[in-house]
Amino acid sequence: MNDGSVLPEDVLRDAPSYTPRAHELADLELLLSGAYAPLTGFLGRVDLTALRRRGRLADGTPWPVGVTCEIPAEMGAALNVDDPLRRTVVLTDPEGAPVAAVEVSDTWPTSERMYAIGGTVRRMGDGGHGPFQRLRRTPEEVKALLPPGRVLGVIADRPLHRPQLAQIAHAARTLAAHLLIIIPVTGPGPDGLPPEALVRAIFAARDRMPPATIVAVPLMPRNDEMRDALLRARVATAYGVTHVLSTGDMLSGGGLRVLVPRELAYDNRDGQWRWRDDIPPRNRRLAMTPAEVEDLLDRGFPLPEWHTPPAVAKELSRVRPPRRHRGLVVFFTGFSGSGKSTIARGLADSLRESGERTITFLDGDVVRRELSAGLGFSRADRDRNVRRIGWVAAEVARHRGMSIACPIAPYADARAAVRAMATEAGAGFVLVHVATPLEVCERRDRKGLYARARAGQLRGMTGIDDPYEVPADAELTLDTTDMTVVEAIDVVLAYLVESGWVEPNMK
Ligand SMILES: Nc1ncnc2c1ncn2[C@@H]1O[C@H](COP(=O)(O)OS(=O)(=O)O)[C@@H](OP(=O)(O)O)[C@H]1O
Ligand SMILES: Nc1ncnc2c1ncn2[C@@H]1O[C@H](COP(=O)(O)OP(=O)(O)O)[C@@H](O)[C@H]1O
């Protein structure tokens, strides 16, 4: 890997290129930087089989997770691993800039549409861009900066408040170790903070910790606690860490020692954090849970100084302002005629009257005319339509606006994608299922579409001969059969007020 050898220009020029999924790109970065040493590329079937059977690569090296990459089936089928001119795939970032070339040594179908590829990766391009790129140092660069001796690693996937800072200071002092803070920076962390905000929050605590080296690493959780912990240990070791402070689930591996810190509490007699059992109950305050911190921020209360350094609190309240000042996507879903547009429009009007929020109303007809012109009602077209709406809605919400959209959005996956886009934009997402039964919608039949569908003149009408996947994750469900329009709007407004998204006086 990274051995300086270069593939001939014409091989690269003719090679197919593809943008893999976010977690594959994250793995690619770790392969390229050497953080996944001794791995030099995506794994092939021999290694994957050995891994599944014995938790080791084929050559016996222990390794916790499959590191794989998929490409479209047609691209995979056209490769020839025996032909040096036809076995290279260029992987690009989401903007289409080449990141690496994979010299494919194994490829196999994983589903009807996708093939996996295994093979050595080589960096292309300038090594990437993005916020805090300068912190994305390679293990080699970091190791060159570390003083000799013990290195205490902290995987900081959450902001550091006073209890964690006290634990870190105590562990570094006890071990006489240099501190290396590793910040995972792919996608939102467990607290939903965007990576840049997490980095800022960690930096804001810097003057409260011993001298530290800070590195940003595109480590993405695989939602398997054990394997994630082992992988973190491997990566920490690659960065020169000798001891790691457990801040959740950490396992040892490859000679790494894990320190499990004692639970600290705040002693209000002298303002120190010490082992909770050393403090009389009436003098101790326990550390807040992440949910408690989030709740204070959501409601617009300041984080208390005994718990959070003011600079950290400032960063957190900046990135997670109270709900009433945060971006929000209100997304209505339901059958045609269920009442989505009527309620959404009424909600938008009422919020505009109060003037507290800027509202973007993504009217269904306008969307289909402007954003989604040319799309029909096949599953693919509906998904495209809903994703476009979601994309625009999330961008509005990224800038603290409120967007209201009301497509049928019959498929759960597309709705989930919209929720993810809003969350990634640091905004809230409220799914309102207008669950008016089909018979009622059909009776209303404002546009005569149901009658045409029943008469066989219209194909693929949602609810008649096209599916509607009932949401299992709606924040609010309402059936408008026996409700007036004003009542329906009021139910939604009341929910938004109760959950803190809208000022009470706006109702
Ligand atoms: N086959 C079929 N199925 C459902 N709906 C149909 C169809 N053909 C046209 N229409 C009209 O298009 C409106 C739904 O468009 P959407 O953009 O909301 O649909 S989707 O979310 O992309 O599924 C919907 O409008 P609303 O009644 O406002 O929901 C229908 O009037
Ligand atoms: N409580 C209610 N909420 C919303 N619409 C209602 C209600 N009661 C009756 N309606 C009527 O039902 C129809 C809903 O149509 P529309 O809002 O266009 O539905 P959709 O956007 O889901 O296709 C409108 O004619 C509306 O006046």
Q: Ligand 1 pocket test: pick from 447, 449, 464 the residue with the most ligand atoms within 8 Å of its Cβ.
A: 449
Per-residue confidence (pLDDT) for residue 222, from 0 to 100: 85
Ligand nearest to the CA of 435: 2
> Does residue 248 surpass a pLDDT of 70?
no
Class of domain 323-506: alpha beta
Measured from the CB, is residue 368 less than 6 Å from ligand 1? yes
- Is the pLDDT assigned to residue 99 strictly greater than 70? yes
Residue 257, strand partner residues: 243
Q: Give pLDDT tens digits for 110-126.
A: 999 999 999 999 999 87
Ligand 1 within 6 A of CB of 385: yes
Q: List, for residues 370-406, the tens digit of each pLDDT value.
A: 999 999 999 999 999 999 999 999 999 999 999 999 9
Is the minimum distance from the CB of 389 to ligand 1 under 6 angstroms?
A: no
Residue nearest to atom 19 of ligand 1 (CA): 408
148 Cα: distance to centroid of ligand 1 (angstroms): 66
pLDDT in tens, 58-70: 999 999 999 999 9
CA 366 to ligand 1 centroid distance, Å: 12
pTM, two decimals, is 0.82
- The strand pair at 328-333 and 402-405 is best described as parallel
By alpha-carbon position, which residue is closest to atom 7 of ligand 1? 461
Q: Hey, which bits of 14-97 come out as E strands?
A: 17-18, 41-42, 69-72, 88-92
Cβ of 341 less than 6 Å from ligand 1: yes
Distance CA 326, CA 259 (A): 38
Reference 199, options 312, 333, 340, 100; nearest CA is 312
pLDDT band at 1 (very low <50, low <70, confident <90, very high): very low
Lowest mean pLDDT among 82-86, 105-109, 213-217, 252-256: 252-256
Check whether 306 has a pLDDT greater than 50.
Answer: yes
Of the candidate CATH numbers 3.40.50.920, 3.10.400.10, 3.10.180.10, 3.30.450.30, the domain formed by 9-123 belongs to 3.10.400.10
Amino acid at residue number 152: L
Q: Is ligand 1 within 6 A of the CB of residue 423?
A: no
Closest CA to 416 of 485, 474, 341, 482: 474
What is the number of helices (H) and of strands (E) in the chain? 17, 19
Predicted local confidence at residue 187, as pLDDT = 75
Average pLDDT over residues 291-304: 95
Confidence of residue 4 (pLDDT cuts 50, 70, 90): very low
Residue-level pLDDT at 307: 98
CA–CA separation, 496 vs 150, rounded Å?
A: 52
For 71, half-sphere exposure in the C-beta direction (CA atoms, 13 angstrom radius) is 25
Expressed in angstroms and rounded, the spacing between residue 402 Cα and the centre of ligand 1 is: 23
* pLDDT higher at 10 or 319: 319
Q: What is the pLDDT of residues 329-358, one digit of tens each?
A: 999 999 999 999 999 999 999 999 988 789
Instruction: Give the per-residue pLDDT at 249.
Output: 52
Average pLDDT for the chain: 93
Ligand 2 centroid–CA 340 distance in Å is 6
pLDDT tens track for 444-490: 998 999 999 999 999 999 999 999 999 999 999 999 999 999 999 99
Note the ligand closest to the C-alpha atom of 332: 2
Domains 9-123 and 132-320 share a fold: no
Which amino acid type is present at position 320? R
Comparing 416 with 191, which gets the higher pLDDT? 416
* 382 CA closest ligand 1 atom index: 22
What band does 6 get if pLDDT is binned at 50, 70 and 90? low
Question: What residues does ligand 2 touch, defined as CB less than 6 Å away?
Answer: 334, 336-343, 406, 444, 446, 480, 483-485, 488
Is the separation of the CB atoms in 233 and 142 below 8 Å?
no
Residue 263's pLDDT is what?
92
Distance set, CA 472 to CA 302, 415, 476, 479, 481 (Å): 34, 11, 10, 15, 21
Closest-CA residue, ligand 2 atom 25, reads: 446
Convert the pLDDT of each residue in 259-291 to its tens digit.
Answer: 888 899 999 999 999 999 999 999 999 999 999
- Taking the centre of ligand 1 as the mean of its atom positions, its distance from the CA of residue 408, in whole angstroms, is 6
Domain spanning 132-320: CATH superfamily:
HUPs (3.40.50.620)
And the tokens for 354? 């109060």
Whether 325 is in the pocket of ligand 1, judged by its Cβ within 6 Å, is: no
Ligand 1 pocket, residue 337 CB under 6 Å: yes
Phi, psi (deg, nearest 5) at residue 102 = -105, 125
pLDDT at 153: 96
Closest CA to ligand 1's atom 2 = 461
Q: How many whole angstroms separate alpha carbon 357 and alpha carbon 172?
A: 47
User: pLDDT category, 213, cuts 50, 70, 90?
Assistant: very high
> How is the chain split into domains, by residue range?
9-123, 132-320, 323-506
- Name every residue whose Cβ is closer than 8 Å to that of residue 329 and which is 6 or more positions away in sequence: 390, 393, 394, 396, 397, 402, 403, 404, 405, 418, 422, 427, 428, 429, 430
